[in-house]
Structure 1
């Protein structure tokens, strides 16, 4: 008799969405409530699939949350699993290591939360002896590997390891409890239930190593389909993993080529048609788009000036559809030759296109550092996470600023 379980991580329950809230309160409400909906759908899935266990590999919460509303909601959902006799195994990651909810909330007896010292929990699952090993973060940072703290595999059992880890390192994720695929293979476990990296990945074989990814994206940096992982283990120990999509909304970045468009009405219609067509080809419940306008067009200058008008037009299209949202518009257009372009404005435009803006002045960097120090901690990465990224951001903004000034000087466009 095979046994099966659901493996998930990085739910970030009731995660605050400050950047989205500043841009669009309706969108922030949709995505902010999505984490709760996803947790409820996760419980529904476990019960419908009649799985034998649920594994949550860290970051169930987002920081040191103390909201009793969150606590009550979580307790109610976990009680549903308890009533269905489905045990839950949890570890704490970097985001929920300090959460008072996991430390103080009275959870059903069917929920086992691993402590900050590695331990192993033996349990029969559908007639199979299963040993679940796990360790929680003690503090938000875990710069060293935790593998040497795990117990050795239990003979005669199917051994599962639960670990919140950055593995060998991924762009956009800090290094936590680092280890390699080879390190995990050397442990002799049968399955590794990982968490932390928000993009799904599966390394089949023995052991099967799974990073389920985040089940619900929260911004454009977490674009694409999101899911949890259904794991089925046969009598001979063969592991089969499949995705189960339970997300409420999906973020996508789409590029719209505007090459050759020279009339404003044609330009805006082209963008709006592309947005509507994208929604028609998407099967998900809600779609959140970031638009990246590319190509060479005489509309490049005016687009910089009237970006708010394009955003309003596309948001109207989204509102008429009802399950479509526009997160933001990125303008990556280049100037195209225009028969009406002539005189000093056109000459200056050519010069701007040739200039390599390099924000290497010490004064500029000092001013940016001063500005970032005044921002709330969650917004200090708005210009980039490294000096190189900040330089790139400033270079782009300086060039866009110069073009915007020219746009306003150009008498050929109606202001």
Structure 2
């Protein structure tokens, strides 16, 4: 008889909203509850597939959570698994190490929460011996590899290692218990259930299968796309098979709409509608949450910039008509077709725009703007400090874009006032 389990990680229950665009209360509530709904989907999958176990490879929580509502929620979901006879094997990740709830909750005996020293737990199913090896970290930092602390593989059994690790490093993730995939393959285990990196990664090998399942529910536009968990089947001969199963309830997506050639407002709305319809048809998650980027050359560019709030309302109405579709943010990168005419360059508004561009290009102005941005970044909480980039080069790109859009906004509003 095969042994089956679901492998997940990085659920980040009650993770704070990080998008400043989520000012819509209904939308904020939807996104804020999505991680819980994804966890419910994972438990539902365990029950529907009648698996033997659920493996949580770290970061069930998102940090120093004190909410008893969260505790009750977790207890209820674990209780559903316990009643069905499904074991739970869980390690604490770097975020769990900060959570007081993770240390206070008392689970039923069907749940194994691995401690700060490596432990091995034997499960027998239909004559097949499966050993789970796990190790939690008690602090939020783990600068050294944890692999040497794991035991050697137990002979005559299928060996499964559970580890929270950044592997060799990944953009956007702190270094945490670093190790190489090659080292994991050579350790002697049959399957490595990893956590920490939020992008799904699978590393098959001759001896072992190494899986980073990714975050089961994206939290903002930087975690766009479908999110999933992994269903693992271990055959009687020890062969390991994996299946990816969708878990995301809300799916963030970037949507680019080219407005080149549009000359009337209804044409713009139509192109947005068509793009949203196409997006909705491809999104398998229940809710689609789009960041819409309008690009191209159109004589409507100044009107679009001036009346961006009206265009956003139009896009939101279209999304609402499609059902379970939302606009997270509307970005404009639209320009006027061709070059300015002689009359345009003689226009005092365009003269002012040219003057602003000249000031924005001066090193003195840019140095002052950089200092302002850096001061702002330093005053933000850690999770919001990357909005202007993670390096000097990325900061310069952000600054160029912000200045260009600012000049366009001012020019558009002045032109609107002059023509009224």
Class of the TM-score when normalised by the shorter of the 2 chains = over 0.9
* 2:67 corresponds to: 67
Match of 1:408 in 2: 413
2:371 is the counterpart of 1:369: no
Q: Say whether 1:296 aligns with 2:292.
A: no
Say yes or no: does 1:343 pair with 2:344: yes
- Per-residue deviation, 1:350: 8.1
- Identify the range of structure 1 (344-353 vs 181-190) with the bigger mean alpha-carbon deviation: 344-353
Give the drift of 1:377.
3.6
Q: Supply the distance in 2 between the matched residues of 1:161 and 1:58 (Cα, whole angstroms).
A: 13
**How far did 1:334 drift?**
3.3
Residue 238 in 1 paired to residue 239 in 2? yes
CA shift at 1:414, angstroms? 4.8
Per the TM alignment, residue 270 of structure 1 is displaced from its structure 2 partner at its CA by: 2.1
Which residue of structure 2 lines up, in the alignment, with residue 11 of structure 1? 11
Partner in structure 1 of residue 136 of structure 2: 136
Aligned to 2:403: 398
Between the aligned partners of 1:257 and 1:355, the Cα distance in structure 2 is 30
CA distance in 2, matches of 1:392, 1:333: 18
What residue in structure 2 maps to residue 53 of structure 1?
53
1 CA distance for matches of 2:382 and 2:357?
36
Question: 1:310/1:87 Cα in 2 relative to 1: closer, same or farther (>3 Å)?
Answer: same
CA distance in 2, matches of 1:338, 1:366: 34
Report the alpha carbon displacement of residue 409 of structure 1 after superposing the two structures with TM. 3.2
Aligned mates of 1:255, 1:223 — CA distance in 2: 14
Matched, 1:378 2:383: yes
Q: Distance in 2 between matches of 1:358 and 1:199?
A: 40
CA gap of 1:256–1:357, structure 2 versus 1, over 3 A, is farther
**Post-superposition shift, 1:412?**
9.4
Q: CA deviation at 1:396?
A: 0.8
Equivalent in the alignment of 2:321: 320
Cα offset, 1:276, TM superposition: 3.2
C-alpha separation between the residues in 1 aligned to 2:359 and 2:155?
Answer: 68
Q: Say if 2:8 and 2:55, in contact at 8 Å, map to a contact too.
A: yes
Deviations 1:369-407 (A, max 9, x none): 222233334333332233332222111101111222222
Pair 1:273-2:274 in alignment: yes
How do 1:82-97 and structure 2 match up within 5 A? Answer: 82-97=82-97
Residue 162 of structure 1 corresponds to: 162
CA contact (8 A) 1:295 1:332 kept: yes
CA distance in 2, matches of 1:78, 1:187: 31
Task: Tell me if the contact between 2:21 and 2:329 (Cα under 8 Å) persists in the aligned partners.
Answer: no
User: What secondary structure sits across from 1:331 in the alignment?
Assistant: strand
Distance 1:335 1:173, change over 3 A: farther
Contact 2:296/2:333 (CA < 8 Å) preserved in 1?
yes
Q: CA separation in 1, counterparts of 2:107 and 2:419?
A: 64
How far off is 1:210 after superposition? 0.4
Conserved in 2, the CA contact under 8 Å of 1:229 and 1:244?
Answer: yes
CA distance in 1, matches of 2:367, 2:29: 41
CA RMSD of aligned residues (A): 2.5
Per mean C-alpha deviation after superposition, the further-off stretch among 5-14 and 384-393 is: 384-393
Counterparts of 1:80 and 1:209, CA distance in 2: 28
Structure 2 SS opposite 1:7: strand
Alignment match of 1:387 (pick from 379, 387, 392):
392
Question: What are the ranges of 5 or more consecutive residues in structure 1 without an aligned counterpart?
Answer: none
Structure 1 residues 390 and 81, CA, compared in 2 at 3 Å: closer, same or farther? Answer: same
Distance change (3 Å), C-alpha of 1:414 and 1:12: farther
- 3-state DSSP class of the match of 2:377? helix
Shift of 1:27: 1.1
Distance 1:87 1:141, change over 3 A: same
In 2, Cα distance between the equivalents of 1:137 and 1:359? 47
**Structure 1 residue 212: deviation in Å?**
0.6
Deviation at 1:352, TM superposition (A): 8.3
In the TM superposition, structure 1's runs of 4+ consecutive aligned residues that sit over 4 Å from their partners are 338-341, 345-361, 411-415
**Counterpart of 1:198?**
198
Q: CA deviation at 1:123?
A: 2.0
TM-score (norm 2): 0.91
Return 376-385 or 189-198, whichever deviates more.
Answer: 376-385
TM-score by length of 1: 0.92
Shift of 1:75: 0.8
The answer to whether the 8 Å contact 2:88/2:110 transfers is: yes
CA contact (8 A) 1:352 1:403 kept: no
